[in-house]
Amino acid sequence: MTKRPSYQLLPDLSDPEYASLKADIAAHGVQVPIELDETGAVLDGHNRLRARDELLAEGMKVPDYPRVVRRFKSREEKVGHVLALNLSRRHLSRTQRAELVAHLRGEKWSHRRIAAVLGVDEITVRRDLRGATNVAPSTVEGRDGRNYPATRAEATPSIVVGSSRDEARALKALDTLGDDAPGRLLQLGRAESKAREASLARYRAREVPKVSKGRRWRIEHCDFRDLNIADHSVDAIICDPPYTDDAIPIFSDLSEFAARVLKPGRLLAAYCGKLRQPEEMARLAEHLEYVWIGATVLRGRHTKVHVHKINGWHRPWLLYSAGRYKPRAWIKDTLIASEGAGEKGLDDHPWQQAEGPIRELVRMLTLPGELVLDPFVGSGTTAAATLAEGRRFVGCDIDPGAVAMTLERLEAGKRGEAR
């Protein structure tokens, strides 16, 4: 993944320096992250990579290495960053070091941190500062004699990762975020969810019709409470409502809506949150009858609930019937998403569910040709699953971005049979 050649702006290490670096990597692996730009080109760490490659070629086992992937606005900023990085580590004359110390103090670094970075003691840092006249130089000089802006690495959008797979994900996230990337260090998962939000925001900029139709489907851009649908006309509702605190009242309205539009004895299957599940269940019971709780096991993906220190590996779904339940087929109450199926692409909806388990629900709750409704389509997972299983679909979403995503998914026939 890592691209070379790269930004080697300072003189090569001397032979003894390189030999000592290689011995250190042989003993401890690459400890200092390799710095990459937004194209995957190496900004810093050529010697570490070269040493690692040589060790691998010599038959040694050297573990994968940490990387920082950064996105820069301009080449100038990038070069400034590379110079600043290198000058802080080696070949520093006294004057160069004093300038760098002053610069780092200008960036509000503590004496201790500067001393640690430069490998000197704090007394030296203080002495350099007393003699400093040029606090916080805004440029650094390259070997070509030109001046480049000295960037503050923390102010560039950056992601720290530990493997080539994550490096590819980090590059993709920074690419998708583009200028929306916040100028700071980000965790990979956070950067990816921000990339999905940015992608959804781009879908929101599209115009969507109030009603869109295919041969076996209809999508409306509206609040589900305003959806145009006949009473007692729906064979199953399969949905994934919002689970935030302010969305709790939706479960009461969903209960009333489902009781009105479902055929008597038919089922609503709703994914629900776990933190507020008792209240969601109480509200669903206002107009429907409780039938069962099922779960989808999310393999390869889980949710950390920090408030309770719980690692969640399943998502519950609730079954409620309109009036007395009339069972028509056996229902398996634990569905297992295939490995990685819940992993989202960066163009996917932030809350997109895995399609496989929804297809199973469609098969268990309805017969071919019957009508499935999802009042919260999001990216259209239930729509795609329903059509792929040969049923008819109607759905809506209040968010134009979600409707645009769903229409794209259906019209492109991306997943399953769309028309």
Chain residues in the site for ligand SAM (CB under 6 A): 223-224, 240, 242, 250, 349, 351-353, 375-376, 378-379, 381, 396-399, 402
Look at residues 229, 314, 326, 243 and name the one whose alpha carbon lies nearest to residue 280.
Answer: 243
Question: Among residues 167 and 397, whose Cβ is nearest to ligand SAM?
Answer: 397
In whole angstroms, how close is the CB of 380 to ligand SAM at the nearest point? 7
Residue carrying the six token digits 């692409």: 345
Residue the block writes with tokens 């070949």: 91
Extract the tokens encoding 365: 């709750």
Partnered with residue 213 across adjacent β-strands are: 218
Q: Tell the smallest beta-carbon distance from residue 253 to ligand SAM (Å).
A: 8
Residue nearest ligand SAM, Cβ-based: 378
Q: Looking at 242-288, which runs of residues are DSSP E strands?
A: 262-271
Q: Which residues contact 170 (CB under 8 A, 6 or more apart)?
A: 67, 69, 159, 161, 188, 191
C-alpha 323/C-alpha 268 separation (Å) is 11
Which residue's entry shows tokens 């086992």?
61
Residue 42 CB, shortest distance to ligand SAM, in Å, is 38
Q: How far is the CB of 180 from ligand SAM (least distance, A)?
A: 20
Decide if 212 contacts 407 (C-beta within 8 A).
yes
**Closer residue to ligand SAM, CB minimum distance, 192 or 240:** 240
The least CB distance from residue 402 to ligand SAM, in Å, is 4
Between 62 and 341, CB nearer to ligand SAM: 341
Alpha-carbon distance of 285 to 276, in angstroms, equals 15
In the complex, minimum distance from the CB of residue 104 to ligand SAM, in angstroms, rounded to a whole number: 45
What tokens does 118 get?
């430069």
Task: Using the minimum distance from each CB to ligand SAM, give the nearer residue, 72 or 251.
Answer: 251
- Per the CB < 8 A criterion, the answer to whether 96 and 120 are in contact is no
Report the nearest approach of ligand SAM to the CB of residue 258 (Å). 13
Q: Quick one: tokens of 199?
A: 């992608």
Alpha helix positions (H), 90-224:
94-106, 111-118, 122-130, 164-177, 188-204
